[in-house]
Amino acid sequence: MKALAPLLSTTLTRRELELARALRERLPEAMDTHATRAFERRFENWLGHGHARAFMGGRAALAMAIRALDLGDNAGVIVPGFTCQCVLNALAFAGAKAQYADIEHTSLGLDVDAVRAAITPGTRAVMVQHSFGLVGRDFEAILQLAHERGLKVIEDCAHALGARHRGLPLGAYGDVAVYSFERSKVLTTIHGGVALANDAEAAQRLCALAEAAPLPAADEIDAQLVSVMHDYWVRASGDAAGAERARALWGERVLPQMWPEEFGISVPPRYGQRMPSAIARLADAQLDRLDAVLARRRAQTAYWQHWASKRGIGYFDAIDGSEPAWLRFPLWVDPALKADRHALENALGVEVGVWFTTPAHPVARTEAHCPRGMDACQRIVNLPTLLPASHPHAAA
């Protein structure tokens, strides 16, 4: 069987490989937040907005952002019926309560009428999730509704680093926003993320939370650096012998996407941890290449759009005024094709992603009052938007 181009196409290069190797050798020095603070300032300048603080995951950043908005005590937060368990956990761990609302099928964002209908006296915030880096059809209407009803807005930009709407970066519109550097995201440190506060009071709380957050232990940071080296060889290098060696050397230490306790009821310590300098240096190095990465993702999207339209396959387009990040290229397919995606994978020579398969992906869940979200869970698959230049489907 021929190798499939990987879905989790990574932006790791030799530069991050060498950096990870060097950081492992002087880990005690890299276990402060000196470089983290420098990265946060650069991130704020790059966005032109807000106060940024980095943590050990997008989900950790989301939990902190919710705490920064003081949304504990079972405060209701509206979430789309097309999301993942990490998001629900972050809300629960911060003491907030998820309230599902349905999505629309134009660009997979929250539906403004569904949001209005989901508001209860306990609702305090709306979490707008920019799925696959797209801007939802009703984004502006939801901002307006939240303003009218006195609700806070949380932008989940885990998929949308670098996306813009009407000239402003996503993340600048909400009271708070979160970004992810997990291994499937626009940039990767394997795990990591940023919480951004635009509201002055939330910024003060976020900074205090970051100040009080412990750093991960040295062996945890080391395992993450090992995972960076592993992923460079296995996912980015195109060197089969190097990948084999990396698997043998480090395979057992590679960090998972989710830890077992995230499927249970306990709070994994990572939800409270600050990003150390060692990880921030890796994120910072990739920020240099972000514009080039986004340009490639957009060119590949134009290629896939043409490909899908020629075949009569349902796909999505940017709404007026938006420049999506296109973390993935979502397709609207028959449920049978989603259930057995291997035919599509073999025909295209790329791995096909299935998220989200339930409103709490990957955990089974039914939200009957979100029929469009449930339908999307049955029908949305996604294609990679960063392919090796030699791949037959790579954009020219």
Ligand X SMILES: Cc1ncc(COP(=O)(O)O)c(C=O)c1O
Shortest reach from residue 28's CB to ligand X, in Å: 26
Greatest C-alpha distance within the chain: 59
How far apart CA 323 and CA 164 sit, in angstroms, is: 5
- Asked if 313 and 343 count as a contact pair (C-beta separation under 8 A), the reply is no
Which residue is at the shortest CB distance from ligand X?
58
Which residue of 49, 51, 53, 59 would you call a contact of ligand X, by CB under 6 A?
Answer: 59
Rule CB under 6 A: say whether 58 interacts with ligand X: yes
Shortest reach from residue 170's CB to ligand X, in Å: 12
Q: Which residue, 134, 116, 135, is CA-closest to 126? A: 116
Q: Which residue, 134, 274, 291, 69, is CA-closest to 191? A: 274
- Give the number of other Cβ atoms within 10 Å of residue 336's Cβ: 9
- Rank residues 195 and 237 by Cβ distance to ligand X and give the closer one: 195
* Residues between 107 and 146 that touch ligand X (CB under 6 A): 129
Which residue of 40, 111, 182, 284 would you call a contact of ligand X, by CB under 6 A?
Answer: 182
- Rank residues 165 and 183 by Cβ distance to ligand X and give the closer one: 183
Contacts of residue 38, defined as CB under 8 A and 6 or more positions apart, other chains included, come to: 280, 284
**The residue to which tokens 């025909």 are assigned:** 347
Listed ranges 1-9, 84-92, 204-212, 285-293: which one lies at the site for ligand X (CB under 6 A) = 84-92
The secondary structure element, H or E, covering residue 53 is strand 51-55
Torsion angle of C-alpha atoms 79, 84, 186, 215, degrees rounded to 10: 100
Which residues does the annotation mark as catalytic? 185
Shortest reach from residue 238's CB to ligand X, in Å: 25
- Asked if 167 and 201 count as a contact pair (C-beta separation under 8 A), the reply is no
* Residues between 85 and 104 that touch ligand X (CB under 6 A): 86-87
Rule CB under 6 A: say whether 193 interacts with ligand X: yes
Which residue of 23, 39, 57, 277 would you call a contact of ligand X, by CB under 6 A?
Answer: 57
Rule CB under 6 A: say whether 84 interacts with ligand X: yes
- Rank residues 10 and 180 by Cβ distance to ligand X and give the closer one: 180
Query: Amino acid identity of 234?
Result: V
Shortest reach from residue 121's CB to ligand X, in Å: 27
- Residues of this chain that interact with ligand X (CB under 6 A) are 57-59, 83-84, 86-87, 129, 156, 158-159, 180, 182, 193
